[in-house]
Amino acid sequence: MNNIMDDTAKYVLQIERLKKSFGKYTVLTDVSYSLPKGEIAAIIGPNGAGKSTFFNLITGYHLVDGGTIRFMGTEIANWPRHRIARKGISRAFQVSNIYARLTTFENVRQAILTQQKRTLNIFTPAHRLARKNTLDLLEQTGLLPHKDTLAGILSQGDKKKLELALALAGKPELLLLDEPTAGMSSEETHETMQLVKRLNREMGLSILFTEHDISVIFGYARKLSVLYQGTVIAEGTPEEVRNNKEAQKCYLGEEV
């Protein structure tokens, strides 16, 4: 009993024996994973290893076939998506998933008003609410110059920044970033990851991300897990994973 209590206080996310198949095709065979509070961790693996599916199961996008997902000590597997988001897991998508016909400002304001539970308000004009919070978050994510641009015509890099802003607006405990820097220039990549690092350091936000860019993975993650053929084959600090024979064989190969 004591042991479980300790674990709950220590880990933001505890996943055991997670399984998922789509028809005959098994994506995750058996994944167990723990994320300590306040950690920045990365999940790596070749395309099709199940990284996105893993995120989709945590956030309720897909139904779980078996296993448990505990977030801050609460079992959340198969909860509706909006409840998981309310509970404190925000997510930025790999392919940007924004409100194309609203401006950048309106995109972020929508997420902030949702977090503040003001979306049932039908009387006050929205443009009078949450203005400062929205501008602050736009500034923080480097989107202020584009605040009146329709989100659908932003550059790919800015769309990814907006993804991050929408996720942050939810004031999460755990932030899941699915390839946060895909489509960004190297300068933008650096800025974005610095922001992620700062959020982690200053606010104690736990962060889990997937990434293909080796320099981002080894530059920012403190914990690394290698997902291969639906299961975690190696785990540890970046150094440990770099030296792990199996991980080298399956994924890192000649790249390192």
Partner 1 sequence: MILFLLAVILPYIVPVFWVHVLTEILIMGLFAASFNMIFGYMGQLTFGHAAYYGVGAYTTGLLMVKANVPLLVCLPLSMLSAGLCAAVLGYFCVKLRGIYFAILTMAFGQLVYYIIFQWYTFTGGDNGLQGIVPPAFLGKAANPYYFFTLIVVAIGMIALWIISESPFGYTMRAIRDNAERTEFIGINIQRYMHLNFIIAAMFAGLAGALWGPFNRSVAPDLCNWQHSGMPVFMAVMGGPFNFLGPLIGSAIYTMLMAFVTSFTEYWPMVSGIVIIVVVLVMPGGLLGLLGDKLPFLRQNGSDTKETNG
Q: Which residues bind partner 1 (CB under 8 A)?
A: 59, 61, 80-83, 85-86, 90-91, 93, 97-103, 105-106, 109-111, 113-115, 118-127, 129, 148, 166, 169-170
CB of 255 to partner 1, least distance (A): 32
CB of 140 to partner 1, least distance (A): 17
Cβ distance to partner 1 smaller for residue 112 or 224: 112
Cβ distance to partner 1 smaller for residue 18 or 166: 166
Cβ distance to partner 1 smaller for residue 128 or 245: 128
Is 14 exposed, middle or buried (CB count within 10 Å of its CB: 0-12, 13-18, 19+)?
Answer: buried
Cβ distance to partner 1 smaller for residue 131 or 249: 131
Comparing CA positions, the residue from 202, 180, 200 lying closest to residue 189 is: 180
Let me know how many helices (H) and strands (E) the chain has, helices first: 10, 10
Task: Give the H/E segment covering residue 157.
Answer: helix 156-169
Cβ distance to partner 1 smaller for residue 91 or 161: 91
Cβ distance to partner 1 smaller for residue 115 or 244: 115
Alpha-carbon gap, residue 43 to 163, rounded angstroms: 19
CB of 50 to partner 1, least distance (A): 20
Q: Quick one: DSSP state of residue 62?
A: S
Alpha-carbon gap, residue 13 to 51, rounded angstroms: 16
Alpha-carbon gap, residue 128 to 5, rounded angstroms: 44
Alpha-carbon gap, residue 90 to 92, rounded angstroms: 7
CB of 128 to partner 1, least distance (A): 10
CB of 191 to partner 1, least distance (A): 23
Task: Give the H/E segment covering residue 136.
Answer: helix 131-140
CB of 176 to partner 1, least distance (A): 10
